[in-house]
Amino acid sequence: MNLKQAGSGAEVDERLAALLTNANAVRAITAAVEGTIGPKGLDTMLVDRFGEVIITNDGVTILDKMDVNHPAAKMLINIAKAQQAEVGDGTTTATIMAGGLVAEGVNQVLRGVPVARVIEGVRHGVARAIEEIKRRGRKVTDLNDPVLRNIAMIAGREHADIADLVVAAARLIGVEKLCEPNFKLSDIITAEEGAENEVFMGVIVDKERMNKEMPEELTDVKVLIIDDALEPEEIGDEALSTESGFKRYIELQDEFKRNVRKIVDLGVRLVLVDRGVHDDADEILTDAGVMVIQRVPAKDLRRAAEHTGARMMKRTGLKKDLTDIEKYLGYAERVYEDEKLEHVRILGGQGKPMATILVGAATEEVVGERERIAKDAASSVQAAIKGGYVPGGGACEIALARAVEKAREEIKGMAAYGVDCVTNALKRPLAQIVENAGFNPLEKVEEVIAAQAAKGSDSLGIDCDTGEVADMLERGVVDPVPVKLHAIKAAGEVAVAILRIDTIIKKKEEGAAAGKNAAGNDAAGMPDF
């Protein structure tokens, strides 16, 4: 038999080389984030070649910034990114469980269990775990429920000020808005150096007015939003060099000025522009006491339009009659520039109620991390409102592991070993949490399993301060159901995908000499890899 050396030094069948290579890559990715999970998790320092430093314990940030080339490792990172995009939190849990599933699957294959049977069992175990977590979810029926602050505290890494901001914003916005499919509470968060923590009804445009001659504060404001440049139509250099072309250029300039004056005639006081603003428009609007903000980010434009009830228009829309243009206008009770924070606030819009969470940060270095923490907290709170919550701290996963272990009896043959992979992977989050807290993971996991079985409770876990078994619900340690659901589902999908890979072949470079020695390859009967 053709044998190869594995990373551990043991000899293994060459047919398993791809599986072991992928498993080692997954293990390396898991190791990068597992030390951050739980209340005693530590931070990771990320340094690029220019010396720029990021210090964080946010799983998806670590994975996103890592320099990774291995395709299996990238698969795991993509799963974490999908988790972040879907529910906004739980990336570390998803990564740890996926890594656990792959490791357990490889162990079973090395014992002689066919990969197909392992995959069959993994799929059955994951499906059972998903059924169980749906059944165990507790609903949030009131935005004043203290459990929401607990969720914000856990996801917000014990930052009480951020948890309070997020919960206050959720109450301002209301259940109906929070349950809209396309609304993300995390999108209303902005962090700024030197700001005070604040929640208010309105939006922030993260830009200053075009010049200091424009008004700093306005009330009873008509708002125009131009999703374009506020500039004359361009004419080509070749056309401009001709007499007719130059004449056309002058006509376009005059038409542009007339169109800009329509803004003034309509009584518009605030103009938000996606791109640049021509000097002529700047002069006309400044003289008329209009506040103009140029190069506004698309996200801010969208939020301002929703809040003020304005409809975004292109610059060609200014060619329309005044009555038609007026249909595009929005309204705000108050607009002002905060010179210290270098942004403009739009308050009291006639469109959709819109809240903003402003997170203060003492220094520039912690702005990004404070914003990431707040976004995780907001995502978790919204997920709990939509889908309910379960005990956190790894307690729920232990209860799921116990349920999946019972489901093993439903499986005949060697697929049962795949179910064992799911059972063991579900124990990984608690094991890592207690290990990070300085306790023996094997001992503590068994203690929790025994305690849950004895008391018939799915909320018993480990107090990371004392090492004693404790009720996570009583301690306020809870996680949203959607976060757990997506983490388990994503972990199962990536593990199955990696276990299914039998061979790794390097693709030829695109554009390489396709005809190189083709006759020789044909003669040898060998494909050109």
Residue 2's identity, in one-letter code, is: N
Bridge-partner residues for 223, per DSSP? 270, 330
Q: Which two tokens stand for residue 467?
A: 């090492």
Specify whether the CB–CB gap between 251 and 221 falls below 8 A.
Answer: no
- Give CA–CA dist 408/505, Å, rounded: 36
**Choosing from 30, 61, 91, 95, which is the catalytic residue?**
91
- 323: annotated active-site residue: no
Q: Cα 284 from chain centroid? A: 42
**Choosing from 58, 227, 274, 479, which is the catalytic residue?**
58
402: helix, strand or coil: helix
Q: Which of 30, 2, 35, 36 is nearest to 106 (CA)?
A: 30
- For residue 224, what are the contacts with CB-CB under 8 A and spacing of at least 6? 263, 266, 268, 270, 271, 272, 310, 313, 325, 328, 329, 330
Q: Helices in 327-394 by DSSP H: which ranges?
A: 367-387
- 91: annotated active-site residue: yes
- 93: annotated active-site residue: no
- Give CA–CA dist 480/80, Å, rounded: 17
Residue 447's identity, in one-letter code, is: E
**Choosing from 92, 93, 308, 423, which is the catalytic residue?**
92
Q: Helices in 88-144 by DSSP H: which ranges?
A: 91-110, 115-136
- Give CA–CA dist 98/75, Å, rounded: 11
**Choosing from 274, 300, 376, 479, which is the catalytic residue?**
376
Catalytic residues: 58, 91-92, 376
